[in-house]
Each structure stands twice: as structure tokens, then as C-alpha cells.
Homo-oligomer: A and B are copies of this chain.
Amino acid sequence: MLTFEIIESEPAGHARHGRLVTPHGEIRTPAFMPIGTRATVKGVWPDQVRDSGADILLANTYHLGQRPGAELVAELGGLHRFMGWDRPILTDSGGYQVFSLAELNRITDEGVTFRSHLDGQYIHLDPRSSMRIQNQLGADIIMAFDQCPPGQSDRAVAGQAVERTVRWAEQCRRHHQRSDQALFGIVQGGVYHDLRRTCAERLIELDFPGYAVGGLSVGEPYAQMVAVLRELVPSLPANRPRYLMGVGKPCDILAAVRAGIDMFDCVLPTRNGRNACAFTATGTMKLRNERYRRQDEPLEGGCPCPACQKFSRAYIRHLFLAHEMLGPMLVSVHNLWFFQRFMQRLRDLIPQGDWATMLAEFPVAQEPLANESLTGEATE
């Protein structure tokens, strides 16, 4: 089903470089997963996603369960075949989207009733249905159905979410039907270290093949996110992959890798790409800016991505001003390559724990100012 091996560890720290083996191939960790919400990474062909260096991508249970429907995907041979991606896939549980996108009707210990963002119909989602949908989609890694409260939730709300998340995790284990899919548990608990620790301990008793940290990067300050990770992550089993959901920016990824996280997902490469925002090692560029009008150079000097090999900033700016699809397509591809390049450098430097070199090569990963909040989200 799933094997995880740590290849190298940071000498005096928590970072690890490993290999996660799934039925659809290997994942080099720390890994960044591009988002294919509706069974497509927006504006990018699957071959181009692979060429960027991505070993795995994430698709969303909430969206696919509604359209085209998990039964149809199963009938058509499962998600890998449906979307033309024969490498590993992870599906989330739908929980995050229910709480962030849908018009919520009712949350009880039995699950969540919400109105579809597509047609307003009432839909019920619970551990059993989340497992059924994810079993039908057929991803290599699937996620337990959790309750993800808002980032600024008080202790009582966060505590109740932990209770439900643990109970639901246990139910997910029972309802999960396919031995070729690895089910990960999700640690909730907001910014409350003791709740996080309790949640982790109870999930570890259930013995999941991997553990995710949910409910971070949802509006809390950067420092608080890092503090939770530093406290929590070392208490998760060292021999299991650890996944920080919905994160994030390069600075977040660097901090989380140093805390011992192995997997990430975020919409930033493609969402920013569609909005004419390119990532580079030294910062981001807004391509619509007049300053790029005459610049006959690539988005990022030395970048081997197919957008930088052939097209100038001036051309890409023209495409965005003319509302041409190729603009979002080019910058999305560049950003996917950028994030994978960033992860590869992290993997390279973990054996030396050489974060000074990492920051010298990627100044964009420097810590944000104290009052800056996080923007990573789990779907686009």
C-alpha cells in the first residue's frame, strides 16, 4: 500500500528527506503537490505538471463528488485515468471546503449538511460518505473527514472540533474499503498546543500510515503557525509521512520543513499564475506592470522551465493585457517549476541543514514581517 523511508535527516534538527512509495509511483519528500481541484491543474497539461518535477498532485473530494460525481469517475476507471495522470494522487476529505466554501446548514456529531455551491441542493457529508467518495475516486492517499474550524476559533470551538475529528477519524478507518489507498489522519486543535497534542496522541493510537496537520494557514499569524508546528510535529511518529495541508508560501514551506513536515499542497503556483504573478527566487513579479513592457528577458534568468526558455516578460505582459489564455498558461507553468525547484533545493540541503544557503539562493523564503498573515488555501 504505502511505504515511507527516510533517506537523510538534518544533523541537528527535524528536517528529513525521504521517499514515499505508492501504487502509482514514488514521491520524493519533502514534496509539493500542485492542486487539481476539478481533476485538472488549471491551465496546464498533465505532461507539463509532470515535467515541472511534481511527483503527486491533489484533487478535491468536495468538488469532484458534486461534479462530475465519484460514481462516474469510478465507472470511467478512476481519477488517474479520468484526468490522464498516472502518477500518485491525494484527495482531501471535503471537510475544508464544506467549512470554507459551502453554505453550511448544520454540523452535528453525525456529519455536516450543506448547500452545494453549484446548485443550492442540500448535501450531507460524513466520514462514511467521504470514504465512499474517496474510495470511488481511487487516489493513492486519502484523507480522514475532519472538522476544520476558522483560524481564530476560541478554545471551546477548537476543542469540540478535536473531539469530532478524532471520532470521525475512527469512523473513517472503519468505512475505508480499499487496501491500495493509504488513509491519513488529520490533527486539528487550532493554535492551542495542548489540544493539538491531545488530538495527535489519540490519532496515533488509531495507527494511521500518515498524519496531516490541518487548520493552519487559515488566517493566524505566521509566528503562531510556526510555533504550533515546532511543538506538534516532533510528537508525530518519525517513521510516518507528515503533511501540512494547504501550505503554502516559500517561507511557510521552509519553516515547516525545518519542523519536520514532509508534504505540502497549495494553489499559489497556478492561482498566482492566472493572475499574472510570477514567483522567482528573489520575490514575486506582477507581469501587468508597465515596467515589463520592453523587457526582453525571461521571467527568471536561468530558469529551465519552458516558459522561460522561449518567452520574454514583454510578451507575457502583452498576453495578459490582451486577455490571452497563453499568459496564465505560461506563468502557471513557470510557477509550478519554481515550486518544484524550491523543493529540490530543500531536499539537497537537508543533509547539511544548510538553511543559510537556502535563504541566500531563495531570498523569497525569508520570514514575513510580524504582522503579515498567511494566504495559502486548500483549493482554487
Which residues of A are in contact with B by a Cβ distance under 8 Å?
38-40, 42-47, 63, 67-68, 72, 75-77, 82-84, 293-294, 296, 306, 310-312, 314-315, 318-319, 321-322, 324-326, 328-329
Contact, CB under 8 Å: A82 / B324: no
11 residue pairs bridging A and B, Cβ less than 8 Å apart: A40-B324, A40-B325, A42-B325, A42-B326, A43-B325, A43-B329, A68-B321, A77-B296, A82-B314, A82-B318, A84-B310
Seed contacts A43-B325, A76-B315; 8 additional CB < 8 Å A-B pairs: A38-B324, A43-B326, A45-B326, A72-B294, A75-B294, A76-B312, A84-B310, A84-B311
CA distance A39 to B67 in the complex (A): 35
Contact, CB under 8 Å: A42 / B76: no
CA distance A156 to B260 in the complex (A): 81
Contact, CB under 8 Å: B40 / A319: yes
CA distance A216 to B318 in the complex (A): 32
**Given A46-B310, A318-B68, A321-B67, A326-B40 contact (CB < 8 Å):** yes
CB of A331, distance to nearest CB on chain B (Å): 13
Task: Name the contact of A72 in the complex, choosing from B82, B83, B314 (C-beta under 8 A).
Answer: B314
Contact, CB under 8 Å: B42 / A324: yes
Q: Tell me which residues across on chain B come within 8 A of A329, comparing CB atoms.
A: 43, 45, 325, 329
Contact, CB under 8 Å: A38 / B322: yes
CA distance A324 to B329 in the complex (A): 12
**Given A75-B294, A76-B294, A329-B325, A314-B68 contact (CB < 8 Å):** yes
CB of A356, distance to nearest CB on chain B (Å): 38
CB of A38, distance to nearest CB on chain B (Å): 5
Q: Tell me which residues across on chain B come within 8 A of A63, comparing CB atoms.
A: 322
**Given A43-B329, A67-B318, A72-B293 contact (CB < 8 Å):** yes
Q: Which of A46, A84, A293, A328 has the most CB of B within 10 A?
A: A84
Contact, CB under 8 Å: A322 / B67: yes
Q: Tell me which residues across on chain B come within 8 A of A311, comparing CB atoms.
A: 84
Q: Tell me which residues across on chain B come within 8 A of A45, comparing CB atoms.
A: 306, 326, 329
4 residue pairs, one from A and one from B, having the closest CB atoms: A84-B310, A43-B325, A40-B326, A38-B322
CA distance A326 to B45 in the complex (A): 7
**Given A76-B296, A296-B77, A84-B315 contact (CB < 8 Å):** yes
CA distance A294 to B44 in the complex (A): 24
Q: Tell me which residues across on chain B come within 8 A of A324, comparing CB atoms.
A: 38, 40, 42
